[in-house]
């Protein structure tokens, strides 16, 4: 009887320790659109409470300047209508204003400083205002300082439309990587204090960005493939990041985020956790992060709400990963890259 009680006590201790680990591990999502696009529009006004409930304290809240100009086709996403000068800037301004207005009402704070990162690590919810595409700059650096002043701390270089910055994964290349302006933009983002996101960029663009940037960069969202892919690859495969390029980003101190598109890794939240573990085996725990693309995926997403991110962390705990590894993947890696970028 005494032995049985000791065993039950030990099991109880394991459970309590796991719960404490869960409670003290904050979560960061390096790419999320919750409430900003077609789905969950009411979440804009409840974001603070949703973040607190899930223990998500660092959220890359992402506006999409080219979004109104895109269309879905049987083979993917592409530009759907003509874009006039000023359209992308106006789209960016409008979306950012709407997001900022929502933040005034929902209780989440805008991350602007390293001190804010310290508070996020303690569990206070912050959003990282992010632009998916630097196309809103329309080929000049004039509006980069004002974007920073308005709270932007994370910019993805390209998205789904041809642009003055560089080539994108889903269209025939025209720049052979980055344009001269794209290289100037990287230098300007380094000195301004904005994190550079290489997602959607081609291999040559990644190589050139790694040569130019003085700061670690990230690939916020998609999945790691065995082989290189390109614009001729079918469906979501064109968005894959090869192991070789993932390792290059990691070698310069960056991190790679996993999106929630189930078919790219086998599906389900369990599958998402398994894929994170596979990515750890490829590039190492200090270079893997969550980049769910919540509300940005047309179909097949396994993460539909912020609480699903907590479920991922729960699964990693149950799989026996140590707390340090889980913290790196769940929060620290994205936070570290942000801190490096913002330190100028």
Nearest of 204, 166, 199 to residue 182 by alpha carbon: 166
Higher local confidence (pLDDT), 93 or 37: 93
Answering whether pTM is above 0.85, one says yes
pLDDT digits (tens, 9 = 90+) for 315-332: 999 999 999 999 999 999
> Do residues 342 and 153 make contact, with C-beta atoms less than 8 angstroms apart?
yes
Q: Given pLDDT bands bounded at 50, 70 and 90, which one contains residue 1?
A: very low
Extents of the domains making up the chain = 25-342
> Do residues 264 and 223 make contact, with C-beta atoms less than 8 angstroms apart?
yes
What pLDDT sits at residue 38?
A: 64
pLDDT digits (tens, 9 = 90+) for 170-187: 999 999 999 999 999 999
pLDDT digits (tens, 9 = 90+) for 138-151: 999 999 999 999 99
State percent of the chain over pLDDT 70: 93
Residue 85 is encoded by which pair of tokens? 């000068």
Mean pLDDT value across the chain: 92
**Whose structure tokens read 């799989």?**
319
> Do residues 62 and 132 make contact, with C-beta atoms less than 8 angstroms apart?
yes
Mean pLDDT lowest for which of 231-245, 276-290, 320-334? Answer: 231-245
The residue-averaged pLDDT of 297-325 equals: 95
What pLDDT sits at residue 20?
A: 42
Q: Given pLDDT bands bounded at 50, 70 and 90, which one contains residue 230?
A: confident
Q: Given pLDDT bands bounded at 50, 70 and 90, which one contains residue 242?
A: very high
Higher local confidence (pLDDT), 77 or 181: 181
CA–CA distance, 227 with 241 (Å, rounded to integer) = 8
pLDDT digits (tens, 9 = 90+) for 6-39: 444 444 444 444 444 445 799 999 999 998 876 6
Residue 4 reports pLDDT greater than 70: no
Beta bridge partners of 73: 76
pLDDT digits (tens, 9 = 90+) for 101-117: 988 888 899 999 999 99
CA–CA distance, 337 with 4 (Å, rounded to integer) = 48
Instruction: Tell how strand 152-156 and strand 288-290 pair up.
Output: unpaired
The residue-averaged pLDDT of 49-57 equals: 96
Higher local confidence (pLDDT), 104 or 213: 213
- Looking at the domain that runs over 25-342, which CATH code has it been given? 3.20.20.140
Task: Sort 4 into a burial class: Cβ within 10 Å, 0-12 / 13-18 / 19+.
Answer: exposed
Residue 3 reports pLDDT greater than 80: no
> Do residues 27 and 310 make contact, with C-beta atoms less than 8 angstroms apart?
yes
């Amino acid at each position: 009887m005494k032995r049985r009680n000791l065993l039950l006590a030990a099991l109880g201790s394991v459970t309590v320790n796991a719960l404490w680990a869960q409670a003290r591990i904050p979560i960061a999502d390096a790419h999320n659109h919750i409430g900003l696009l077609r789905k969950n529009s009411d979440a804009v006004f409840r974001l603070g409470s949703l973040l607190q409930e899930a223990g998500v304290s660092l959220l890359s809240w992402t506006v999409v300047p080219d979004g109104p100009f895109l269309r879905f086709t049987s083979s993917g996403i592409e530009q759907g209508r003509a874009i006039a000068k000023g359209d992308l800037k106006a789209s960016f301004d409008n979306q950012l204003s709407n997001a900022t207005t929502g933040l005034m009402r929902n209780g989440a704070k805008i991350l602007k400083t390293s001190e804010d990162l310290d508070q996020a690590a303690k569990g206070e919810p912050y959003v990282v205002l992010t632009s998916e595409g630097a196309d809103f700059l329309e080929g000049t650096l004039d509006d980069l300082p004002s974007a920073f002043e308005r709270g932007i701390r994370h910019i993805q270089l390209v998205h789904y439309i041809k642009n003055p910055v560089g080539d994108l994964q889903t269209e025939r290349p025209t720049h052979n990587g980055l344009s001269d302006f794209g290289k100037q933009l990287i230098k300007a983002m380094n000195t301004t204090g904005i994190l550079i996101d290489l997602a959607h960029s081609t291999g040559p663009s990644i190589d050139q960005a790694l040569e130019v940037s003085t700061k670690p960069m990230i690939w916020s969202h998609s999945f790691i493939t065995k082989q290189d892919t390109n614009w001729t690859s079918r469906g979501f495969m064109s968005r894959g990041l090869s192991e070789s390029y993932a390792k290059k980003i990691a070698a310069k101190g960056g991190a790679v985020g996993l999106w929630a598109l189930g078919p790219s890794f086998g599906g389900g939240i369990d599958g998402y956790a398994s894929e994170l573990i596979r990515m750890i085996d490829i590039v190492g725990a200090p270079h893997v992060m969550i980049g769910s693309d919540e509300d940005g995926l047309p179909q097949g997403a396994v993460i539909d709400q912020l609480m699903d991110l907590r479920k991922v962390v729960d699964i990693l705990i149950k799989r026996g990963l140590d707390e340090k590894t889980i913290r790196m993947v769940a929060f620290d890696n994205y936070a570290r890259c942000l801190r490096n970028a913002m330190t100028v």
